[in-house]
Structure 1
Amino acid sequence: MFDVSDAFFQRILRDGHRVQILAHRAENRHRNGPVMADSRMKLSVMRADNAQITFADLEFLQQGIRLDPLLEKISDFLDDHNKLVELIRRDLERGLKEPETGRPGLTPDQVLRSLILMRVKNWDYRELRERINDGYTMRKFTAFYSEPVPQHNAFNQAFNRLSPATVEKLNDAIVEAAVDDGLEDGKKLRADTTVVETDIHWPTDATLLWDTVRVLTRLIGRLRDIVPKDIPRFANRKRAARKRMQKLHRMTASQREGQQVRTYSQLQAITQEVLANARRTLKATAHSRGKTLTDTLTIEELRKDLTDYCPLGDRVVDQARRRVLDREQVPASEKLYSIFEPHTDLIKRGKINKPIEFGHKVFLAESAQGLVTQYRVLDGNPSDEDHVKSSLKNHRKTFGSAPEVFATDRGFDSTDNQKICRKAGVGCVSIPQRGGQKTAERQAFEKSPDFKKAQCFRAGIEGRISVLFRGRGMKRCLARGKERFRVFIGVAVLANNLMKIAELLIRRENKKKPRARAA
């Protein structure tokens, strides 16, 4: 038995008061056997919140490991706000019939801390796993301590359980905590929009048709490997499709006049043939079963992929026919830019270096202390002026009043928005007029010191976007699907806010320290 009053034991508890909820479950290890470092941990959560502390954990904590100052402040902040961990727990348990049975997996605390660390350091899953496994400080921050670290795919599976709504609640709770701690007063607000790219290649009708042919052919081939007798025979048209796709890309302007329509017609015919084969395969394998349970599950997944890609292939064929053969101007809202990320939008912002971008427009609002208090993933390419009213409403909900200074670029300007800001009680509305002849009164206002100072403040959000892109990896989303895209944006904002809170806490502590006397 340990004496809880012992000074050594007390020091361990002070070093991390969450030690009692670590995932070092001695009883479960004895029952289920040890978890090997190369095993795939499942998505079940820990079964005992007050599990016994192991001797390995005591030895680990006795080393006196110190975290990086920023990570230490983030860790302390998370310790003081346990409700954040409970939000993660709900997502990990969602859909599980018996979440407390099975081999123990990543705990909610480990999932949250690992996710934050991944975005703070801008690592991928493999590097995240290796850094945690090899580093004592990373083990301490992520609450793994002496426990074996699972493979990278376990982190991926756990992170994929998180919903956009949960990440949004995490951000709201963190901003609320910062306000309660007196780190932010909400007197200033600056807003802007940016574009985060989806992970697609530059779309053309030819490449989209080629993508459809090669993906459907690959899926049918995998099904044939499992149940060869059930798959009807058909010719592999990948080579013919690739040849015509490359021919279209290599055509000169003069060659396009006489050959483009014919080559596109051939490529579309090949794609339609492959689509017909895919649908015959779906019909033929409706009741197919594999020799093993794994084969049966694989068949179901492959059939699901075929079911998803066939309608997208139909859209690609129809789009190419309308654009190339019928010379129709297809609206942007009806276009498909990728069969892998069908939610992708085409964004035109008038940027010289990037006239066209593929991804999603994201609205960001930032406070004076660098906290991103609002973020939204937008559908399509809405005008910036549409977000002023909602941003002020959300700001009032968070801080209880309108900001004294509201600064944006000229894209947010409109007569209605100026009235909305004044009606909401904004003291200084720093939105430059967009176009038109300025009145003498307007010219004088935009030359006033308050307006210029607010515009200097507004420029700071450009730097924040740059930090999110370069430091938090938000420039391009590699995750699949609209839901994962929203989670990706939310986690990047979450990491940014925790970093800023840590900096503000360190700054506050330094102010309280007495200055050393001069010699």
Structure 2
Amino acid sequence: MTHSKLLIGCRVPAACLAPLDAWVAHAERQIEQIRRRVLWGESIPHHEKVFSVFEPHTEWINKGKAGVPVELGLRVAIVEDQYRFILHHQVMENTTDDQVAIDLIEGTRARFPVLHSISMDKGFHSQANQAHLAEVVPMPALPKKGKCNQAEAAHQQQAEFIRLRHRHSAVESAINALEAHGLDRCPDHGVDGFKRYVALAVLGRNLHRLGAILLERDAEAEARRRQRAA
């Protein structure tokens, strides 16, 4: 029995190879960083690190909490009203709480011009943010990071400030609800997909909250009906 071999040459279009360029760049960057870190003993600056080759927008988030000190993803800031509806949100790309505070409030004011009070975590504190929020509402509840002077301590001990801080804890339930209903992990790809998924999650949370209010209202109406019938 004899065997014959046939060799056919073909040219792969450049357009088909173009998507590989990004992966080649990732590989070259990783090789270079390994060389710098292992062979040269260099510490790689944080801004040069890539935490996901599939989702390059992924950031290293220091949570500072026991059990979960670090997470990978993107921060999301939300604004909730007294009825526990989310009025505004912002995906934070390469920014911190204190850098986004004014944009977050102004974005809320663009939709809801009248704000009676504002309460924010101390992570949003800066002198500029304190001054800006004082122009928006009479009593901005924004605790200062670090040690307070006498005037700042007196400000934070006022009854209205304390009342607003106590109400602020309600926003934690919205954050937990978003995470519990799927926002702890995003199945969409790309930063645009992430933002779209967050927006849909916020919409779902508001619909869930609206449904809870309607069910509570129906339950109260039914209770009154039974009381009248009795």
Common fold, TM-score beyond 0.5? yes
Matching residue of 1:461: 171
Residue 149 (structure 2) aligned to one of 415, 438, 463: 438
What amino acid does structure 2 have at the position aligned with 1:464?
Answer: A
Measured against aligned partners, the alpha-carbon deviations of 1:203-231 in whole angstroms (never above 9, x if no partner) come to xxxxxxxxxxxxxxxxxxxxxxxxx9558
Report the alpha carbon displacement of residue 474 of structure 1 after superposing the two structures with TM.
0.5
Cα shift readout 1:446-504 (whole Å, capped 9, x = no counterpart): 2333222211211111111111111x211112322222111111111111111122333
Q: Which amino acid aligns with 2:13?
A: A
For 1:230 and 1:421, locate their aligned partners in 2 and report how far apart those are by CA, in whole Å: 69
- Determine the C-alpha separation between the residues in 2 that align with 1:411 and 1:385: 6
Q: What's the counterpart of residue 310 of structure 1? A: 24
Structure 1 residues 450 and 506, CA, compared in 2 at 3 Å: closer, same or farther? same
Alignment of 1:348-359 (within 5 A): 348-359=62-73
**Residue of structure 2 equivalent to 1:496:** 205
Equivalence for 2:189: 480
Equivalent residue number for residue 364 of structure 1: 78
2:120 partner amino acid: T
**Which digits, 9 at most, give the CA deviation of each residue in 1:165-206, with x for residues without a partner?**
xxxxxxxxxxxxxxxxxxxxxxxxxxxxxxxxxxxxxxxxxx
Count of residue pairs brought into register by the alignment:
222
Residue 100 of structure 2, aligned match among 377, 384, 387: 387
**In structure 1, C-alpha distance between the alignment counterparts of 2:9 and 2:88, rounded to whole Å:** 53
Matched, 1:399 2:126: no
Structure-2 change in CA distance of 1:337 and 1:449 (3 Å): same
Match of 1:319 in 2: 33
Structure 2 distance, partners of 1:495, 1:420, is 32
Q: What TM-score results when the alignment is normalised by the length of structure 2?
A: 0.84
Q: Is the 8 A contact 2:134 2:140 kept in 1?
A: yes
The 1:512/1:230 distance shift into structure 2, 3 A limit, reads: farther
3-state SS, counterpart of residue 80 of structure 2: strand
SS at 2:54's partner residue?
Answer: coil
Larger Rg: 1
Partners of 1:469 and 1:378 lie apart in 2 by 17
Would you say the 8 A contact 2:89–2:104 is kept in 1?
no
Distance of 2:193 and 2:145 partners within structure 1: 35
Quickly say closer, same or farther: Cα 1:315–1:324, change in 2 above 3 A.
Answer: same
After superposition, where does 1:103-114 map in structure 2 within 5 Å? none
- Counterpart of 1:456, as a letter, is H
Q: Which residue of 2 aligns with 1:338?
A: 52
**How does 1:29-40 map onto structure 2 within 5 Å?**
none
Residue 418 (structure 1) aligned to one of 105, 127, 130: 130
What is the rounded CA distance, in whole Å, between the counterparts of 1:514 and 1:489 in structure 2? 37
Partner of 1:322, secondary structure, is helix
SS in 1 for 2:149: coil
- Tell me, in whole angstroms, the C-alpha distance in 2 between the residues paired with 1:370 and 1:229: 67
> Which string of whole-angstrom CA distances, capped at 9 and with x for unpartnered residues, describes residues 347-397 of structure 1?
2243333332211111111111121111121112x2311222112212221
Q: Deviations over 1:261-300 (max 9, x none)?
A: xxxxxxxxxxxxxxxxxxxxxxx5237xxxxxxxxxxx94
Asked if the contact 2:92/2:100 (under 8 Å) is kept, the reply is: no
Identity of aligned residues (%): 27
Contact 1:313 1:339 in 2 (8 A): no
**Residue identity in the other structure for 1:354:** V
1:507: Cα distance to partner? 4.4
C-alpha offsets along residues 76-122 of structure 1, whole Å, 9 cap, x if unaligned?
xxxxxxxxxxxxxxxxxxxxxxxxxxxxxxxxxxxxxxxxxxxxxxx
Closer/same/farther in 2, CA of residues 325 and 444 from structure 1, 3 Å limit: same
Supply the RMSD in Å over aligned alpha carbons: 2.5
Shift of 1:510: 5.8
How do residues 225-264 of structure 1 correspond to structure 2 at under 5 angstroms? 229-230=8-9
Gaps of 5+ in 2: 1-6
Alpha-carbon deviation of 1:336?
1.5
Cα displacement (A) at 1:341: 1.8
Instruction: Measure how far apart 1:411 and its partner are.
Output: 1.0
Q: CA–CA distance in 2 between the matches of 1:321 and 1:356?
A: 26
- 8 Å Cα contact 1:468-1:496 kept in structure 2: yes
Residue 420 of structure 1, CA deviation = 0.6
Aligned letter for 1:467? A
The aligned amino acid for 2:121 is: D
Distance 2:27 2:191 in 1: 19
1:285 aligns with 2:12: yes
Q: 1:437–1:446: structure 2 CA closer, same or farther, 3 Å change rule?
A: closer
Supply the distance in 2 between the matched residues of 1:406 and 1:391 (Cα, whole angstroms). 11
Aligned position for 2:4:
none
- AA aligned to 2:199 is G
Distance in 2, matches of 1:377 and 1:350, equals 20
Q: Distance in 1 between matches of 2:93 and 2:9?
A: 42
Structure 1: unaligned runs, 5 residues or longer: 1-227, 232-283, 288-298
The aligned residue for residue 450 of structure 1 is 160
Structure 2: distance between partners of 1:398 and 1:368? 16
Counterpart selection for 1:347 from 61, 64, 78: 61
User: Partners of 1:304 and 1:351 in 2: how far apart?
Assistant: 43
CA 1:335–1:503: 2 relative to 1, 3 Å: same
Partner amino acid, structure 2, of 1:336: V
One-letter code aligned to 2:104:
S
How far 1:445 moved relative to its partner? 3.0
Aligned residue for 2:3? none
